[in-house]
Amino acid sequence: MANSLQGKSIVSITDISKDEIEEVLNLARIWKQDLPGKILDGRIMASLFFEASTRTRFSFETAMLRLGGQVVHSENARVFTSTEKGETIEDTARVLDKLVDVIVMRSHEEGYARRAASVSSVPIINAGDGPGEHPTQTLIDLYTILEELEHLDNIRIAMVGDLLYGRTVRSLCQALALYDGIEIYFVSPRELQMREDIKVFLNDHAIVFSEHYRMEDVLDKVDVLYMTRIQKERFATREDYERYKGVYIFNEESLAKIRDNSIIMHPLPRVGEIDPIVDKDPRAVYFKQVQNGLFIRMAILSLVLE
């Protein structure tokens, strides 16, 4: 039976419906128990990465390989593809779609994945477009919340750090708007607050949110503490970045303040905002997110390709 994600690009989390999100989460759950066979034998994925990546690229590539598919890739695609010669992303997509069955791409510029998807004859999966969106990370985040807390409705979540440039929180907000009883606490320096477009989106969906500066003010209020990195590569100067570096650090003291049944998440990489001493606490689930990423990406690839 054809599934509705077949042949579809995923550029924004809003490109897929709540039912489709649940289909991805379900399949990932089944495969986490019991790996499927080589169902993507003979299919080829291109991974086109214009920006640095560890988890996303390796988990997409291993997901494809574990499903029996194959991978061609360009890391540092700004230098190693014809982008360096001035080729447009549209032309690059038109070339790759003649060669492969799916393109996973990460770009430094917001909107690149959308431009590629507008011309590509094969699905484009956005693996992060500058400060835009990161929909597959959101599927991992939803999966992890559901697995750890057993529900997605009635979640109180604090998103802490660089909300201006962080793309994972932007996608996550839009996905959470599909659920009931969501309450979001944004915690950031004033200059790194969540952009207006997402706040308008949340208002339109009647999602309750508030803005804070001090992390300590929200620690005992939430079910999910979602930490993020200050996005060094998005600042104009090193001094600008240095101003915010280290502004939020979740440590042993913070642990004592959160609820017993809450969880601490982070899309990773962390660069000092969570003290490693926190790792052994059962509420720290950021490395579980990484593991869930493999199954979520297997589910995504099989659903868009089958």
Active-site annotation, residues: 55-56, 85, 106, 134
Q: Do 300 and 136 form a contact (C-beta atoms < 8 A)?
A: yes
Minimum distance of ligand NCD from residue 95's CB (angstroms): 25
* Residue number with CB closer to ligand NCD (232 or 283): 232
* Residue number with CB closer to ligand NCD (66 or 266): 266
DSSP annotation of 111: T
Return d(Cα 139, Cα 142) in angstroms, integer: 5
Minimum distance of ligand NCD from residue 280's CB (angstroms): 21
Judged by DSSP in three states, 45 sits in strand
Neighbours of 145 (CB within 10 A): 24
What residue ranges bind ligand NCD (CB under 6 A)? 55-56, 128, 134, 137, 167-168, 229, 267-268
* Residue number with CB closer to ligand NCD (254 or 292): 292
Return d(Cα 282, Cα 279) in angstroms, integer: 8
* Residue number with CB closer to ligand NCD (55 or 156): 55
Neighbours of 197 (CB within 10 A): 10
Minimum distance of ligand NCD from residue 76's CB (angstroms): 15
What is the crossing angle of helices 167-176 and 196-204, to 10°? 10
Neighbours of 256 (CB within 10 A): 8
Return d(Cα 158, Cα 187) in angstroms, integer: 7
Return d(Cα 41, Cα 83) in angstroms, integer: 30
Minimum distance of ligand NCD from residue 11's CB (angstroms): 15
* Residue number with CB closer to ligand NCD (43 or 163): 163
Return d(Cα 254, Cα 258) in angstroms, integer: 7
Query: Peptide bond before 269: cis, by omega within 30 degrees of 0?
Result: yes
Minimum distance of ligand NCD from residue 291's CB (angstroms): 13
